[in-house]
A and B are shown apart, each in its own frame.
Chain A
Amino acid sequence: MADASVAMPRRGYTLGRARLVPVLLLLPIVIVFSVGYVVPLAQLVLKSLQLDGAWSLKSYIEIANSPAFLWIVLRTLALAATVTIICLLIAYPLAYAISKCPPRAAALLLLIVTLPYLTSVLIRTYAWIVLLSPNGPINQLFLRLGLISEPLQMVFNSIGVYIGMVQVQLPLMVFPLYAVLARVNPSLAKAAQSLGSPPTDAFLRVTLPSSMPGVISGCTLVFLSSLGFYITPELLGGPDSYLIAQGISLRVLILGDFGEAAAQSSILMLTVIAVFLIFRQRIAEELDDRPHNNLSPIGTSTSGLSTQWPIQERLTAILHGPSLKLHEALTVIRGPFLYVIAALTLLLLILPFVIVIPLAFSDAPYLTFPPPGYSLRWFSSLLRNTQWLDALSFSLRWAGLSALLSVAIGVPAAFALVRYRFAARVPVYLLLISPLIVPHVVIAVSLFFALAGSSLIGNPLAFALSYTIIGAPYTVVVMIAGLKRFNRTLELAAASLGSSPLVTLRTVTLPLLLPTLASAAIFAFIVGFDDVVFGLFLSGPTATPLPMRMWDNIRLEISPQIAVIAVLFLIVLALLLLLRLFVNAVVPGRRPQEGVHP
Chain B
Amino acid sequence: MSVSIAAVSEKATAGAATAHSQRGSVSVKSLTKMFGPVTAVDDVSLSVEPGEFVALLGSSGSGKSTLLMMIAGFEASSSGDILLDGVRINDVPSYRRGFGMVFQSYALFPHMTIAENIAYPLRRRGLRGGDVEREVSKALKLVALDGYGARLPSQLSGGQQQRVALARALVFRPPLLLMDEPLGALDRKLRQQLQMEIKLIHKEVGSTIIFVTHDQEEALSMADRVAVLEGGRLQQCGTPRELYEQPATAFVADFIGEMNFLPVELLQSGGEVCARSADLGLEVMQKATQVLTSDDRGLLAVRPEYVGLTPDEGATAMVLESAYTGTNQSVLVQVGSIRLTARTSVSPGRPLFQSGQRVRIEIEAAHTRVFPAAR
Contact = CB atoms under 8 A, between A and B. Distances in A.
A42 to B, nearest CB: 37
Contacts of A499: 95, 120, 124
A588 B180 CA distance: 27
30 contacts: A1-B60, A1-B184, A2-B65, A2-B104, A2-B180, A2-B181, A3-B60, A3-B65, A5-B35, A9-B69, A12-B34, A12-B36, A490-B107, A492-B101, A493-B103, A493-B165, A495-B73, A495-B74, A496-B72, A496-B94, A497-B100, A497-B172, A498-B172, A499-B124, A503-B124, A504-B95, A507-B120, A590-B111, A591-B110, A598-B105
Nearest to A598: B105
Contact of A589 (B101, B153, B165): B153
Interface of A: 1-3, 5-6, 9, 11-13, 487, 489-490, 492-501, 503-504, 507-508, 511-512, 587-591, 594-595, 597-598
Contacts of B185: 598
Contact of A492 (B74, B113, B124, B184): B74
B112 A493 contact: no
B65 A5 contact: yes
Interface string B92-132: 01111111110111011111110000001100110000000
Given A3-B60, A489-B105, A589 B169 contact: no
A588 B172 contact: no
A489 to B, nearest CB: 4
Contact of B111 (A3, A494, A588): A588
A489 B102 CA distance: 10
Contact of B75 (A5, A591, A598): A5
Contacts of A504: 95
B361 interface: no
Given A496-B95, A590-B110, A594-B110, 17 more contacts: A2-B181, A3-B40, A3-B66, A5-B66, A9-B69, A9-B74, A12-B75, A490-B109, A490-B110, A493-B108, A496-B101, A498-B95, A498-B121, A500-B95, A504-B95, A508-B109, A589-B109
B20 interface: no
A492 B40 contact: no
A487 B109 contact: no
B168 interface: yes
Interface string B169-184: 1001000001011001
Contacts of B154: 589, 591, 594
Contact of B113 (A12, A588, A591): A588
Contact of A498 (B34, B98, B110): B98
B105 A588 contact: no
B214 interface: yes
B107 A487 contact: yes
Interface residues of B, number: 52
Given A5-B75, A497-B124, A588-B113, A594 B214 contact: no
Contacts of B184: 1-2
A487 B105 contact: yes
Contacts of B108: 493
B180 A6 contact: yes
B34 to A, nearest CB: 8
B186 to A, nearest CB: 12
Contact of B169 (A487, A496, A587, A595): A496
A274 B104 CA distance: 45
Contact of A512 (B69, B73, B111): B111
A422 to B, nearest CB: 15
Nearest to B120: A497
A588 B74 CA distance: 29
Interface string B66-100: 10010011111000000000000000011111111
A492 B111 contact: no
Nearest to A1: B60
B107 A588 contact: no
Nearest to B66: A5
B64 A511 contact: no
B331 to A, nearest CB: 34
A423 B343 CA distance: 59
Contacts of A588: 111-113, 152
B111 A589 contact: yes
B183 to A, nearest CB: 12
B265 to A, nearest CB: 41
Give 7 closest A-B pairs by Cβ, nearest first. Answer: A594-B110, A496-B101, A498-B124, A497-B121, A3-B65, A493-B107, A589-B110
Contacts of A494: 95, 109, 120
Residue in A496, A508, A512 with the greatest tally of chain B CB atoms within 10 Å: A496
B61 interface: yes
B69 A589 contact: no
B64 A3 contact: yes
A595 B153 CA distance: 11
Given A487-B105, A493-B103, A497-B121, A6 B110 contact: no
Given A3-B60, A3-B66, A11 B35 contact: yes
Contacts of B214: 1
B120 A12 contact: no
Nearest to A498: B124
A570 B96 CA distance: 51
Nearest to A493: B107
Contacts of A489: 103, 105, 107
Contacts of A508: 109
Contacts of A12: 34-36, 75-76
A496 B117 CA distance: 13
Contacts of B178: 496
A10 to B, nearest CB: 9
Residue in A1, A490, A497, A591 with the greatest tally of chain B CB atoms within 10 Å: A497
Nearest to B174: A496
A495 B109 contact: no
Contacts of B61: 3
A589 B112 CA distance: 7
A190 B354 CA distance: 43
Contacts of A598: 105, 185
B111 A511 contact: yes
Contact of B110 (A503, A507, A595): A595
A481 to B, nearest CB: 18
A420 to B, nearest CB: 15
Contacts of A501: 95
Nearest to B35: A12
A6 B121 contact: no
Nearest to A587: B111
Contact of B152 (A498, A589, A595): A589
A3 B153 CA distance: 25
Contacts of B97: 496
Contacts of A595: 110
Contacts of A498: 95-96, 98, 121, 124-125, 172
Interface string B34-48: 111000100000000
